[in-house]
Amino acid sequence: MSSALEELQKDLEEVKVLLEKATRKRVRDALTAEKSKIEIEMKNKMQQKSQRKAELTENEKPAAVVAPITTGYTVKISNYGWDQSDKFVKIYITLPGVHQVLAESVQVNFTERSFDLLVKNLNGKSYSMIVNNLLKPISVEGSSKKVKTDTVLILCRKKAENTRWDYLTQVEKECKEKEKPSYDTETDPSEGLMNVLKKVYEDGDDDMKRTINKAWVESREKQAKGDTDF
């Protein structure tokens, strides 16, 4: 049985074929919007798949953390991994050797909507990370840090427990929402594609209808030959 991601890939290929054939602006706009919707849906599916693989136990390190960017004597940490539980939002920062520095060299300050991390004297450098405009308020008193092997774990205690954070910061949320097309994201992507194609067909002239019919047949033949590639 094909997975949802494979079905989305097939839908995307079909839209691309139709987009190559379309000449009318209204039709191209509709197909371009549908293409963007499918691509975003595929990206979300892949992110969800990655998050499931990266679910961590207390003593495990995150998989999706890369080395920080060095800027002179101070290293600005711009990459991290994060997940959440009912009570905490957990941020993981990989810093090789951080477990060997003095405890007072690892400092974290919290406010209701931000935190900043400063690690001093790690391999002759300082490391800093500042995250402002958290998506939701946190409890300053209930938040803390843990230093593990090569990892700093920051625990932000949710003020409203049992609430899900879809993003870490408000800025990230706003950026993602701007990318979303004006379609109902709850509907099945394949069903949405069929509705768009049906509307394009109904609104198109005879030439457009012939183009869609031809592209549809060519797309199906192409998929039949290339199914094993997915």
pLDDT digits (tens, 9 = 90+) for 36-77: 888 888 888 888 777 776 665 555 555 555 555 544 478 899
Residue 199 has pLDDT above 80, yes or no: no
The answer to pTM > 0.75 is no
For a pLDDT cut of 70, what percent of the chain falls above it? 76
Rounded CA separation 171/197 (Å): 35
Residue 230: per-residue pLDDT = 45
Q: Which residues contact 164 (CB under 8 A, 6 or more apart)?
A: 84
Rounded CA separation 52/97 (Å): 27
Q: H or E segment at 122?
A: strand 114-122
**Least confident window among 35-39, 84-88, 97-101, 123-127:** 35-39
Beta bridge partners of 139: 157
The distance between the two most distant Cα atoms of the chain, rounded to a whole number of Å, is 76
pLDDT digits (tens, 9 = 90+) for 102-158: 999 999 999 999 999 999 989 889 999 999 999 999 999 999 999 999 999 999 999
Rounded CA separation 159/156 (Å): 9
